[in-house]
Amino acid sequence: MVASLTSHEPATGVLLWQGEAGDVEAEVARARAAWPRWAAQPIAYRIETLRRFVNVVRRNEDALADLIARETGKPLWDAHAEVAGVMSKVDISVAAYSERTGQRRLEAALGARQSVRHKPHGVMAVLGPYNFPAHLPNGHIVPALLAGNAVVFKPSEKTPAVGEMLVKLYHEAGVPIEAMRLLLGGPDAGKALAAHPDVGGILFTGSAQTGLAINRQFAAQPSKILALEMGGNNPIVVWDTPEINAAAVLVVQSAFLSSGQRCTAASRLIVKDSIADAFIAEVKKLADRLIVDHPHADPTPYMGPVIDNPTADGLTESFLWLMSNGGKPIKHMVRPKKGLPFVSPAIIDVTAMTERPDVELFGPLLQVIRVAEFGDAIAEANNTRYGLSASLIGGTPDQYNQFWANVRAGVINWNRPTNGASSSAPFGGVGISGNHRPSAYYAADYCAYPVVSAEIEQPRASIGVGLKDIDISAMGD
């Protein structure tokens, strides 16, 4: 019996979409059969096809943004920003493909030439998250298709409607239906897809728990390329600065944008003790003003709900646990709408806690840690197994240099928020935030592999040493 799937609007509880789970074997087989023809197309053809995709998305921008807003709960303006990221990805990926996987020819000995070219891996499995259900999988799909791979895309079971629409837009643009496949299903479908022997690569964005399980599963299979982006427990350090209000805005943006459901969201505010009281008061004052409402509300909300009630329940339980284990509440987390996954932005001082849980609290929950010395701030920033994003607000150029040199993270900013990374730069982390295969501009690196060739039109060779002399007397007349 085929399992059915449903998706409900987080902000209203209304049924948004329903459908049936897909067949892993069938989807991989169709992609595998279609891959050679797609890979054989000239790169100019694939570029032209994906540029048509941009035009198709532009024609459907309002509908796609509306669907993203309804299925994730994020405000409509935030959903439009996501669609803009989907469209900008193609030109960025074309430039990255040319720069990082372009063809090179070098002169070699005896008039030969040395060629470096790149080949696609085959069928790539893209496992997408729910927080950016179009933009983040698109960041894998576009470079994978450009390189000549076929793709089987499994969206999060929490956002199947957006995943379905995204694939339809690819098909409408002319990406072959068989080369761009949609697999709907839950975690078991994702596991089966990743484990399929005909899948040459797994491109994953999601939780550390799932990413680490994938990494363990394929530790003995080096033939499969793994690109894992697994979130963070990100620090934002605030030091001496005369711009208290601007610094507070950066902290609020880092912690509460998209309801804190960004892998680069700041979850730990590390602040100099001598300025902490005044600064935390400024952050709280601003957080108190944030409008939390449904995506299409008037006035426009800053935050919508989190993705579902279990997520909201987990966040409120985490806040209570921190409070029960030494945390001092600054701004309580509350559930303003009964039965729906809305949560208010929350702030709690955990300085006095002897042990702080090193987990990704994926929501609008900011923990405050006070420190006396800048070296202590760096030590606290590194007090995590994760290593995705970190920011220093304030401080001197020398302190920023010290921060940059010593903090373990793949994205390190100065007087900028922790989130909002550019697609024109590499994006990834260290520790359990990733496996040293950054995405965004560097996604080209894991979507094709280099092949080195020594080439000459006619065979030309000789052996100059190690041969016996020719016995002329034995050669006859």
d(CA 292, CA 294): 7
Question: For this structure, is 447 an active site residue?
Answer: no
Is residue 89 within 8 Å of residue 202, measured between CB atoms?
Answer: no
- For helices 43-59 and 76-101, angle between their N-to-C axes, nearest 10 degrees: 170
Q: How far apart are CA 332 and CA 354, in angstroms?
A: 21
Which position among 27, 71, 229, 282 bears the catalytic label? 229
Q: For residue 291, count other CB atoms closer than 10 A to its CB.
A: 12
Which residue out of 263, 282, 360, 380 is catalytically annotated?
Answer: 263
Task: Identify any residues that bridge with 346 across adjacent strands, giving them in sequence order.
Answer: 365
Whether 229 is a known active-site residue: answer: yes
What residues are labeled active site? Answer: 229, 263
